[in-house]
Chain A
Amino acid sequence: MSVEDTTPMSGPTIRIVGFLCNWCSYGGADTAGVCRFKQPTDLRIIRIPCTGRMDPLFVAKSLIYGADGVLVSGCHPRDCHYAVGNFYARRRLEVLKHFLPFMGIDEGRFQYTWVSASEGQRWQEVVTRFSEQIHALGPNPGVGFGDGGGLSDSRIGHLSAEGIHGPAAPPMTCGGKAANRAPDEPETRNQKPETRN
């Protein structure tokens, strides 16, 4: 099958994390695929049993470590497979959405919505619009990396493989701030050329 470029826009690689509920939105995304609706390819989908499983910290962690956007989608309120999971979820996620900008993280990088299994068309609209929004915001530098890079391959490697053996922590000065990494000090995890720019 010949595949044309389905990325709606050219530009830097954008990685959006999608948390989809198993019963509605994952089915909705599947429906969209089966119907061959054209969708942007920036989304990486993680299937969760219910949006009630959705810990706001999943979103926080993704954005801190440089995911460019996070999309959460579940069953419409009152249609939850487990009756009430999304009622809990919407309160938690709404609080998070108001809290992110306080910490200096753009709330536009996070969205939650409701898509049922039959709404393939709606799924296409949601994901296209959100992808456009994230493209407009550009890559997310993450928090405290100081290199302007987003969720590059080297950083994913750093997250999973380096773990506790990662780069040594900067030395602490007593009663003061941790000495920042000297700008000219080589940083092994960023030696790979940025592929996205």
Chain B
Amino acid sequence: MNELRKAIEAEWPRLEVVIGWGLGFDPYHTRPLFVRRSEDLSGLIWNPFCVQNLTGYLVKTPVVKAEDKAKKVGICVRGCDSRSLVALIQEKLVVRDQLLVFGIPCSGTVDWRRIAVQTPLSGVKSARFEGDLLLVEDNGGVRKFSPDQYLARRCLRCVHPNPIIHDVLVGEPVPPRAAPGNRYRDVESFEQQNLPDRLAFWQEELDRCIRCYACRNACPLCICQDRCIAETREPRWLTQRMGVPEKFLFHFIHALHLAGRCTECGECERVCPMEIPVTLMKEKLGRIVGDLMGYEAGIDPEATPPLLTFNPAETGI
């Protein structure tokens, strides 16, 4: 869609760099694009194949920032990404004034892995949209997928498709895909199981973990970087041993460090090479924090995440 490119071109004089999406190794995959020259603006794209949450690039080394103090960093955010951005602003990890936020109402992104699980594809020739449907042509002919089939899990439970904060809104607001009461349905269906079954589920899932730390690296709010206690020798929380206990503890570290901060953007799950549903843990934590402290992460830039503060008046806790 050219709308995003036009909006960015109109603001270009104020910008030093823009973080957006560009074409990846084929037309159905995208990669982050950092535009520093106006002639490169034509590489910017926006479509349901744009899956990356770009806000992490504002805080992770090498940090993208404007050298010229009079200029700003442009960043493209969908609804979920804007919540990450709010969380970063809350914790003073980015300065709002140095950003120009291009907000994009998003009606969901495509998860190729979910499609491949349902229908193995070989040699994809083209993929296009007809209304809600995704039409994929591969060696076996044209196949149709409904949103329930092709959308990423995070998009199926999305209640904030429209950016929470933005300077420029690109496109018309869209209705949320999930009703607020429905957003934790995956957590609820998981909790139908009894305790031993849940443990067995996680043991089996986390046994696959190769501790590549991709989930941590992709997470916009995991900002300890090379001081992450999963890797430090002092304190030494984890050994090099590849047993299930170590993997379990690593995921506890990741999840508990995000309790009350995680905006459930689903990046950890998207990047996991072993397809472990790691976001499920963060969804549960988000729900706990919502139930106990009435807090939803990434909504109010002025709020303090609940585990970074306290309330003496609380009882029953």
Contacts and interface: CB of A to CB of B under 8 A. Distances in A.
Given A91-B310, A98-B288, A104-B196, A143 B203 contact: yes
A161 B312 CA distance: 43
B207 A177 contact: yes
A162 B241 CA distance: 10
Contacts of A170: 242
A182 interface: no
B210 A103 contact: no
Contacts of B195: 101, 104-106
Nearest to A181: B243
Given A84-B310, A91-B310, A166 B239 contact: yes
A92 B200 CA distance: 26
B76 interface: no
B241 A164 contact: yes
Contact of A99 (B190, B207, B242, B284): B284
Contacts of A65: 245
A176 B288 CA distance: 32
A144 B243 contact: yes
Contacts of B312: 77-78, 84, 87
Contact of B199 (A61, A77, A104, A162): A104
Say which size band chain A's interface belongs to.
35 or more
A169 interface: yes
A60 interface: yes
A95 B259 contact: yes
B248 A64 contact: yes
A94 B292 contact: yes
Given A144-B243, A172-B210, A177-B208, A95 B285 contact: yes
A60 B239 contact: no
A57 B237 contact: yes
A145 B292 CA distance: 33
Nearest to A166: B241
Contact of B288 (A60, A95, A142, A169): A95
Contacts of B249: 57, 60-61, 64
A103 B245 contact: no
A99 B256 contact: yes
A178 interface: yes
A104 B280 CA distance: 13
B256 to A, nearest CB: 5
A169 B208 contact: no
A42 B307 CA distance: 32
A169 B243 contact: yes
29 contacts: A57-B252, A60-B256, A61-B237, A65-B245, A78-B312, A84-B310, A87-B312, A88-B307, A88-B310, A90-B310, A91-B310, A95-B307, A98-B291, A99-B285, A101-B198, A102-B187, A102-B190, A103-B202, A103-B252, A104-B195, A104-B200, A104-B201, A143-B199, A144-B207, A145-B244, A163-B241, A164-B239, A178-B242, A180-B207
